[in-house]
Structure 1
Amino acid sequence: MAQTLKFTNSTQSAFFATVRQRVDTYFLSRSLSRHATPAMWAKTIFFLTGFVGLYGLLLSGQFSLWGMLVLAGLLGAFCAFIGFNICHDAIHGAFSANKRVNKVFSLLFNLIGASPYVWNITHNIVHHTYTNIPGHDEDIEVAPGLVRLCEDEPHRPWQRYQHLYAFPLYGLASLSWVLRKDYLKFFKSKIGEHVTKHPRREYVNLFLYKALYYALFIVLPLVVLDITWWQFVIGFLALHFVEGLVLGLVFQLAHVVEGTAFPVPDPSGDMQEAWAVHQLRTTANFAPRSRLASFLCGGLNRQIEHHLFPRVCHIHYPALAGIVKQTAQEFNLPYIENRSFLSALRSHYRMLQLFGRPA
């Protein structure tokens, strides 16, 4: 039977009530929507244009093999950026107040190889509720048996070297989504401890959109390009390695760095803190002042603000960050951040070393 977790510390509820009231006041006092702004629409056009342009250039066959390899890598990066900047907000219902607009943009997730329906379960429902809780948040289970990301996992001798091989494994994340992960998650009876029951139409959608992806990214290139099958395989792997590495690193730098916690419930299934405080303890920001990181990562470098306000478009996170940080300090709560991407990367590397050793 699935264990139902409860966040039971009512004495900590004042933090979220306060920060939510301050965020509400911010939007109301400025007559701002919580959803996409003109700047957000400009980002959307930029990334979609880049995606379509790179795909078209690849299929044109007008480049050398090395040029096509570079284009494949760039296309993989743009796939990740579309996931971060457009689909992620849309699946959360944060892109637009119009549900149909969110639905349309969420379907773009299929064009980067992943199911938006499965992602909604694993990410919105499970990860955002049970962040970093072993046995519940499957997002911290990266290549089980190979990469150990919390002390509750059993240790295996080869994991002492995981700080060396984990990063190449992150590069396989996108390929796993396309060929394996979505099917595996969809047909599991539960994800983490969340029991799944799918509408009938989602069975059709899963296979229909996967077939569309395979047609666009496997069949069509093999038909129109004058390349051998092994040259195609190299390009396909390059695309997904870049996409997977970008996706994997952004997630890991937000949850598996020094200072983040991996709490476990008590025997009755209670978490001895409020949900919002749990988010502060298990989540970290990186490069919060970098405009480039914010532009490319869809605001996920400010993961704290995203976890507290997932239905707010990420374009607003820079403004909300000051409110959240100040309120956390007033309540003597942690606000974990690494000043740069490289400092976060070094911190994650040290965590891999730490978890690679026996407890």
Structure 2
Amino acid sequence: MKEEVTTRGSFTEALYNRASEYFTSVKSGKYATAGFYVKALVLIALYVSSYIYFIFYSRSFTELLLLAVLLGICHVFIPVNISHDAIHKAVSANNLINQLALFGFEITGSNSYMYRKKHLEAHYNKENGSKTIAIESQALLLQKRNADKKTNLHYIFYIFYAKYMIFIRDFALYFNSTETIPLKQFIKLFFFKAIYFFAFLVIPFIYIRLPW
């Protein structure tokens, strides 16, 4: 090792320096390659086409189930494989492209502003040796408070985890925040949550007709 690591801080600094050296040395640099954009287009196309077929063309329970699984996979892959990189401004040197990639959170029911804020805070906390704070600050656990003690809810509640993450967590983080959040972010939160709610919890009941 080039640097002698004596503290967590020096380890983090050495890690960042080596990462910077690596990206300087490779031809592609620190931004996304063409493969990233192909992957992003495929995932978005798969997400949109699956939703359209799910709503308007499904004719059996088997089709609905398979498409629901596919939509669920897209709900994970789009934020993790596209928007996460945009959080770290690693998609492009053009900030507009990074901002556009962040909308992967909105179209899958999450919120880019709060996800980015909590994700970067978690990185900071983990780098400074507090995994517990890193997890709890993101409200990733289903917990209840008894007096001054927090306890995790029974695992059975995690059956509804997706609904919690989409329809409760972001609102709780917004309204419990001790920092001032711009009004436009509140507007964006409610606007995209309403669209998502309508798209996945209203439209399906209007258009899907199956002979049960």
TM-score, length of structure 1 as denominator length: 0.50
Label 1:91 to 1:15 Cα distance change in 2 as closer, same or farther (>3 A). Answer: closer
Contact 1:130 1:137 in 2 (8 A): no
Contact 1:118 1:186 in 2 (8 A): yes
**Could you list the per-position Cα deviations for residues 208-236 of structure 1 after superposition, in whole angstroms to 9, with x for gaps in the alignment?**
111111222222222222259xx8xxxxx
Moved beyond 6 Å, runs of 4+: none
TM-score, length of structure 2 as denominator length: 0.81
Contact 2:125 2:134 in 1 (8 A): no
State the AA in 1 paired with 2:209: D
Contact 2:60 2:210 in 1 (8 A): no
**Could you list the per-position Cα deviations for residues 271-297 of structure 1 after superposition, in whole angstroms to 9, with x for gaps in the alignment?**
xxxxxxxxxxxxxxxxxxxxxxxxxxx
Question: What is the RMSD computed on CA atoms of the aligned residues?
Answer: 3.0
State the distance in 2 between where 1:24 and 1:136 align.
27
Structure 2 partner of 1:74: 70
Which stretches in structure 2 are left out of the alignment for 5+ residues? none
Pick one of 87, 95, 99 that aligns with 2:83: 87
State the distance in 2 between where 1:139 and 1:103 align.
21
**Could you list the per-position Cα deviations for residues 313-340 of structure 1 after superposition, in whole angstroms to 9, with x for gaps in the alignment?**
xxxxxxxxxxxxxxxxxxxxxxxxxxxx
State the AA in 1 paired with 2:122: H
TM-superposed deviation, 1:86:
0.7
Matching of residue 221 in structure 1 with residue 209 in structure 2: no
SS class of match (1:130) = helix
Pick one of 29, 34, 38 that aligns with 2:25: 29
Contact 1:61 1:226 in 2 (8 A): no
Structure 1 partner of 2:142: 143
Show the 5 A alignment for 1:34-73.
34-73=30-69
Structure 2 partner of 1:209: 192
- Higher RCO, Cα 8 Å, sep 6+: 1
Contact 2:123 2:134 in 1 (8 A): no
Show the 5 A alignment for 1:222-261.
222-227=205-210
State the distance in 2 between where 1:94 and 1:135 align.
22
TM-superposed deviation, 1:198:
0.6
Label 1:134 to 1:201 Cα distance change in 2 as closer, same or farther (>3 A). Answer: closer
State the distance in 2 between where 1:176 and 1:66 align.
26
Tell me how many residue pairs correspond in the alignment: 202
